[in-house]
Structure 1
Amino acid sequence: MASLDTLRTHLRGVTAFPITPFHANLDLNLDGLRHNVDWMIRHGIVTLVAAGGTGELYSLTTEETEAVHRTVIEAAAGRAAVICGVGGKQRESQQLAATAEKAGASGILMLPPAYGPSPEDGLLAFYAGIAQSVHIGVLPYARDWAVFTPEMVEKLANSSPNVVAFKDGSADLRLWARIRARLGDRLVWVGGVGDDMVHTYFAAGAEGFTSSVANFMPWVSQELYDTAHRGDFAATRRIFDDKVAEFYAIRARRRGFEVSSVKAAMELCGLPAGPVRPPLGALGAEEHAIIASVVARLGLGAKTP
């Protein structure tokens, strides 16, 4: 079990979000997951989230989520911090978080509840209940209908001392700035929109970011972090434009393409990924061809033994 300070240190950098590989019949491919986790760690990743949004958490059963958590923890074998994703239902999330803690998780990522329109006190009760079910560090994930005010984040941090960080996926930088001003260095600030806004979030005070392209080019994720961390945002933007932008353009073509585009790139690189589960959608032939051309241009297949 990682200390709270150790987890804070790990979050100040690249946090990779492994996909959950499936077989053609949509069953879990845990051997493929082990392979991918080992590959990412061998290529420099030191912090991973098991069963996050990119890992299709909301399509997994409770038993499958436990299996994904356990598999990533075992595959990491102490070489990387493993943060386990939970969300949707509070009691199920509490159970999953407690089981992950016993299995050796370093932390818990608390994704939004399944039901959208929630009052502030209800949303706080949801997150606080999960946080207080474990002793390891936790971080709330703000996105979609899980909108936090500065006062809410402060109340959550006060009620649950194991809240070590705040992951923002809203892209509302004005609200982000107000929350940071309220909490200061009490929390680690994680840009959670993705690889396309690294320079923007770091310019606004982020200390780490979450990456999906780390699934097939983790060295690029590290380049994005290194340049943003030293404040060379022009270099960060050049790296994004040259190596990442085309993947994100595919994601923007249609809702539900975020994970399927990552999985398509991985398969082209020789990494096990498989299809996505509904309600996500598969790429069309045109999108697949574009990703194939980018993978070839960047020489990615040659880097994925």
Structure 2
Amino acid sequence: MLTGVLFFPVTPFTDSGDVDLDALRQHITAGVDAGPGGVFVACGTGEFHALDREEFAAVVRAAVDAVGGRVPVYAGAGGALGLARQFARTAAESGADGLLLMPPYLVQPPAAGLVAYTRAVAQETELPVIVYNRANARFDEATAAEVAQLPTVSGFKDGTGDLDLVARIIPAVREALGTSGKPFQFFNGMPTAEASQLAYRALGVELYSSAAFAFAPDVSLAFHRAIEEGDQERIDALQRSFFHPLVRLRQRVPGYAVALVKAGVTLTGIKAGPVRPPLTSLTSREAGELEAILTAGRAVLAS
């Protein structure tokens, strides 16, 4: 079972557009040294959508090597069904400990079709699978309960922000699992999840992905401690100075949920490089805004 703050590293690229495995190892090593509960590599923040299978395999292997067994390593899989199956097998062969199942490609599937999609990918390996409820992959109560009963499905990550639905899915899944004793976890997977974590926590969802951890692990971990300790004053201060400004910058351009994290990693001294098309990178002015947000967040820690 996963605990603590979940680290979603970026995938660094060189100026020529190739995957920079040395920078990736440096990035992941520094992150794991800070103390996350798990590493989710080549997922949304890691530009899963932009990697071919050979690159994906190299990224997962590099992550597993850098982590060295200290925490679990999950890898993304998704897109077209045939490719999702290939990526699932590749993740297992490359040493990953689990899978985050990303949405299927393009189509708007009915919820029942997502069960078949999840089953088809999950049966490719024995790795635990966390399903990602977002974008065009939206489960309802019945289908969330159905996929939760698949043997290797171990978690449900919500990125829709539909708290009304999540509040109904959680008890539906718990009832479906009944007395089976099967370990199962719920995750807040919203971009900049800290901004919504108090609301998710009220529903019993304690785990969340932290994009901020990739470039500001000190701020991310301080917020997590404040949540765990019920330190509302520290929570409010970090929201005001860091997370809410980060959300406003993120919402300025589609895809900035990834681009600003890459820019933040570069600010730490690890050259993360540009994002791949169709995403676009921050402007130099926006990178300056991000640096100011980071400075303001750390000022709260210093106080």
Q: TM > 0.5 between the two?
A: yes
Contact 1:14 1:225 in 2 (8 A): yes
1:295 Cα shift?
Answer: 3.3
Distance in structure 2 (CA, Å) of the matches to 1:223 and 1:97: 34
Contact 1:90 1:126 in 2 (8 A): yes
- Code of the residue aligned with 1:242 in structure 2: it is S
Q: Residue 177 of structure 1 corresponds to which residue in structure 2?
A: 167
Q: 1:175 to 1:74 in 2, by over 3 A?
A: same
- Code of the residue aligned with 2:187 in structure 1: it is V
Q: 1:297 to 1:177 in 2, by over 3 A?
A: closer
**What are the equivalent positions in structure 2 for 1:131-142 lying under 5 Å apart?**
131-142=122-133
Q: 1:101 to 1:237 in 2, by over 3 A?
A: farther
Q: After superposing the two structures, state which structure 1 stretch, 215-224 or 269-278, moved more.
A: 215-224
Distance in structure 1 (CA, Å) of the matches to 2:42 and 2:35: 20
Q: 1:203 to 1:228 in 2, by over 3 A?
A: farther
| Residue 292 of structure 2 is aligned to residue 293 of structure 1 | yes
CA RMSD of aligned residues (A): 1.8
Residue number among 79, 82, 85 corresponding to 2:76 in the alignment: 85
Unmatched runs of 5 consecutive residues or more in structure 2: none
- Code of the residue aligned with 1:176 in structure 2: it is V
| Residue 156 of structure 2 is aligned to residue 166 of structure 1 | yes
1:285 Cα shift?
Answer: 3.5
Structure 2 length as normaliser, TM-score?
0.90
| Residue 36 of structure 2 is aligned to residue 36 of structure 1 | no
1:232 Cα shift?
Answer: 4.5
| Residue 104 of structure 2 is aligned to residue 113 of structure 1 | yes
Task: Find the residue that maps to 2:186 and give its secondary structure.
Answer: strand
**Runs of 4+ residues deviating >3 angstroms:** 229-235, 295-300
- Code of the residue aligned with 1:190 in structure 2: it is F
1:172 Cα shift?
Answer: 0.3
Aligned pairs, number: 290
Q: 1:272 to 1:133 in 2, by over 3 A?
A: same
Contact 1:22 1:29 in 2 (8 A): yes
Q: Residue 211 of structure 1 corresponds to which residue in structure 2?
A: 210
Contact 1:62 1:96 in 2 (8 A): yes
Distance in structure 2 (CA, Å) of the matches to 1:103 and 1:254: 34
Contact 2:60 2:95 in 1 (8 A): no
1:202 Cα shift?
Answer: 1.1
Distance in structure 2 (CA, Å) of the matches to 1:290 and 1:146: 33
Distance in structure 2 (CA, Å) of the matches to 1:93 and 1:287: 35
Distance in structure 1 (CA, Å) of the matches to 2:29 and 2:95: 17
Task: Find the residue that maps to 1:88 and give its secondary structure.
Answer: coil
Distance in structure 1 (CA, Å) of the matches to 2:93 and 2:56: 14
Distance in structure 1 (CA, Å) of the matches to 2:125 and 2:94: 12
Q: 1:161 to 1:226 in 2, by over 3 A?
A: farther
Task: Find the residue that maps to 2:39 and give its secondary structure.
Answer: strand
Q: Residue 124 of structure 1 corresponds to which residue in structure 2?
A: 115
